[in-house]
Structure 1
């Protein structure tokens, strides 16, 4: 996620120089042809086309932002549920009983491993070093056998909670309260997986891109009679605005794409890690900061 209100000039140039160059060359070509072989183009159809396209692109960008914002809401729910889980674990079980303290630490560490596994799964990253940091060898083997690693961690946590109830560390009411938190965690994961695995319909992706490029081709033809020699500048800037709106939709449509426009899952996982480690009295790492204006 880009933090500053104004993105870096180098990042802007890197993202727009190719379409900007193509637009400018085309606009110069149309302008030269106009002064060599003058022609007339009706302005009204281009105006109607541009207005309709602007509405289409605006609706698409709004839909993409709603997906991005829903991803952020789901991760906010994950942060709250993780804190609730840790609070219930540390409050419900009596430290004076044998084996309770290591069990608490194991359960809290499993939740930390879970959020890191979920982050890596959403970003399609095969390696997740935090799993080995917070899970023992037997738990790691159990997780690696499963296709959905975060769900495997959550299943193992649920079984350990049930075992704690059977040996008397928890009563049935306490177990049901913790299980309710685990359900909230699973629901949040399901929402994230739905966003990741369900792209915008093809019509939302193909037709806006097609119509935007057609409009940019027609734009200098409709403007050259009015702008004259200024057509390359005016037409390029106008076309670039439409291409920018198109790109905004592409940037936000996948909130877990592991790029600079991503929901900052690494930073949120670190927040969970800090809060949960401190809840069991362990040393916690420092929060993640932005790197060159980007919070990952």
Structure 2
């Protein structure tokens, strides 16, 4: 996620220079053709086309932003639920009898959120997960098709173990299970966003009509703008291409790109809070790198 108040011009230029260059070359070609081989430029209803396209792109951008914002809300709920689980574990399980189990449940939650982050980003499990698990647990839950869900299931089994050992009662177990349900619901919402793309009408048609409009734009403007057509047409076309790109950038909030939800920073927030809750030393928060928070 870009956190700079002012966009990085280098990053901005890297994203737009290719379509901008192609658009400018096309506009120059139309202008040269118009004056080199005089022809009657067709009268195109560009205002009507542009207005309809702007509405279409607006709907698409709103849909993409809603997906991005829902992803951020779900991860905010995950942060809150992780804190609640750690608090209940710390307060319900007695010391010193259940001290080891208490630390294990809290550290497994840190491993869980990191495993979920890696799953959503289509990355392999790494030491940010395994370092919080005991050696005997690394080949069990992580071997499942959904490692994050496997870790969550095993956390539930450890809570049940605490109840069978008499360290918590059924009411306390129910309270902790309710938190696990909230965590599972948040994970399900994230997986729904990740695995369900926008309908093809929202993906293909805006792209097709935007590029078609940019091709027709200099043809309809050359008679009015003359030699200024490359400049005017390029600027106008760039605005439509920029809105199209915004929708592409926001449609998948977990794609590990510069515009996505900062999963690494939020997982580090959970790690800090949970480690401090059991008195362990916590790492520093994730800092932006060149204005980007990952």
Q: TM-score, normalised by structure 1?
A: 0.97
Q: Deviations over 1:235-277 (max 9, x none)?
A: 0010000000000000000000011011000000000000000
- 1:95: how far off? 0.9
Q: 2:48 aligns to what?
A: 48
Match for residue 197 of structure 1 among 184, 195, 198: 195
Match for residue 184 of structure 1 among 182, 185, 204: 182
Q: 1:142 aligns to what?
A: 140
Alpha-carbon contact 1:114-1:153 (below 8 Å) kept? yes
Alpha-carbon contact 2:217-2:233 (below 8 Å) kept? yes
Q: TM-score, normalised by structure 2?
A: 0.98
- Which ranges of 4 or more aligned residues in structure 1 deviate by more than 2 Å? none
Correspondence 1:8 to 2:8: yes
Q: 1:280 aligns to what?
A: 278
- 1:39: how far off? 1.4
Alpha-carbon contact 2:218-2:233 (below 8 Å) kept? yes
SS at match of 1:82: helix
Uncovered stretches (5+) of structure 2, i.e. residues with no partner: none
The worse-fitting range, judged by mean Cα deviation, of 34-43 and 72-81 is 34-43
Q: 1:32 aligns to what?
A: 32
Q: 2:264 aligns to what?
A: 266
- 1:40: how far off? 2.9
The worse-fitting range, judged by mean Cα deviation, of 133-142 and 146-155 is 133-142
Alpha-carbon contact 1:131-1:140 (below 8 Å) kept? no
Alpha-carbon contact 2:92-2:172 (below 8 Å) kept? yes
Q: 1:18 aligns to what?
A: 18
Q: Deviations over 1:162-198 (max 9, x none)?
A: 0110110110000000000000000000000000000
Alpha-carbon contact 2:41-2:222 (below 8 Å) kept? no
Alpha-carbon contact 2:46-2:217 (below 8 Å) kept? yes
Alpha-carbon contact 1:23-1:236 (below 8 Å) kept? yes
Q: CA separation in 2, counterparts of 1:196 and 1:145?
A: 21
Correspondence 1:226 to 2:227: no
Q: 1:247 aligns to what?
A: 245
SS at match of 1:134: coil
Alpha-carbon contact 1:110-1:135 (below 8 Å) kept? yes
Q: CA separation in 2, counterparts of 1:139 and 1:2?
A: 37
SS at match of 2:252: coil
Q: CA separation in 1, counterparts of 2:105 and 2:135?
A: 15
Q: CA separation in 2, counterparts of 1:4 and 1:211?
A: 32
